[in-house]
Structure 1
């Protein structure tokens, strides 16, 4: 068995967001500037999925958190703020206001 090339090994998290086994994400969902649009897109994807392993809210929130965590320090502050606000909007969309 051959080892994956360095680029393949390094970009595995990007592959997860493109080819999630649980959700079929809309293209470029994490690049949207509107937190509400990100939340609505994730909600649509989670509710449409027949492959997810948990409830739609948890699947959508997990994918958003995964993306934020994997981007790590390379994620610009402005983008991180948009994605963190998308978490708030996702909670609202599912009636889970805190």
Structure 2
């Protein structure tokens, strides 16, 4: 039976896990130290893929059945709509308060000039 992962990939993963144990493995984008063993393995496999080693492709999410898919899509859209509504409410309230402040300032200047 053929190997699922190449020796090169195994070496990359082993190096990443050792660095994690030593506390020197950093995540790519944020630069934070990696504490999770699973994350270390994922980083090692990613590096192996980039180096061209034999590594199975990343697993993709399985498609849900039509019934459950319809339920999740409805909930996602409603959540998105709710968050947009909240943001627009916040913007309008901020605009109202800033208008009120400017009108108060104008009134006080008018009183001072009289």
TM-score, with length taken from structure 1? 0.25
TM-score, with length taken from structure 2? 0.23
